[in-house]
Amino acid sequence: MDMALITALAAKYIWWKPADEAARTPYRVIAQVMDIGEYNDVQKLIAAIGPEPFCEVLRRAEPGQLNARSWHYWHYRLHMAEIDHVPPLPQRRLA
């Protein structure tokens, strides 16, 4: 994984934490870029690390991590769902 790029993107998309600290959870950084990233940042990241980490973010997604639009877009873009067969967004569960 390109940690220099992850750290740079962490500084931009996880602004509430120091970039080095945020980069210690690269899948969180990738998820944030997937959800609110600018097109050029998304293109740079996918070119640098390939599609598999993006797929892993979808498999591990936590409630609230991606909005519905991003959830659907990435399932289609990564060929993880057929049209009208996108899995539901992760839901919070109260005990």
Q: What does the pLDDT look like over 15-27, one tens digit per residue?
A: 999 999 999 999 9
Tokens of 92: 């919070």
Query: pTM for the complete prediction?
Result: 0.91
Q: Give the end-to-end CA distance of the chain in Å, rounded to a whole number.
A: 37
Q: Does any domain span residue 39?
A: yes
Q: Does any domain span residue 25?
A: yes
Q: Does any domain span residue 19?
A: yes
- Alpha carbons 93 and 5: distance in angstroms, whole number: 34
- Residue 59: pLDDT band (50, 70, 90) is very high
**DSSP code, position 90:** P
Q: Residue 38 belongs to what domain range? A: 3-77
Q: Does any domain span residue 88?
A: no
Q: Does any domain span residue 83?
A: no
What is the separation of C-alpha 7 from the centre of its chain, rounded to a whole number of angstroms?
14
Amino acid, single-letter form, for residue 59: R
Q: Does any domain span residue 27?
A: yes
- Alpha carbons 65 and 80: distance in angstroms, whole number: 18
Q: Does any domain span residue 26?
A: yes
Domains in the chain: how many in total?
1
Q: Does any domain span residue 30?
A: yes
Whether the CB-CB separation of 33 and 54 falls below 8 Å is answered with: no
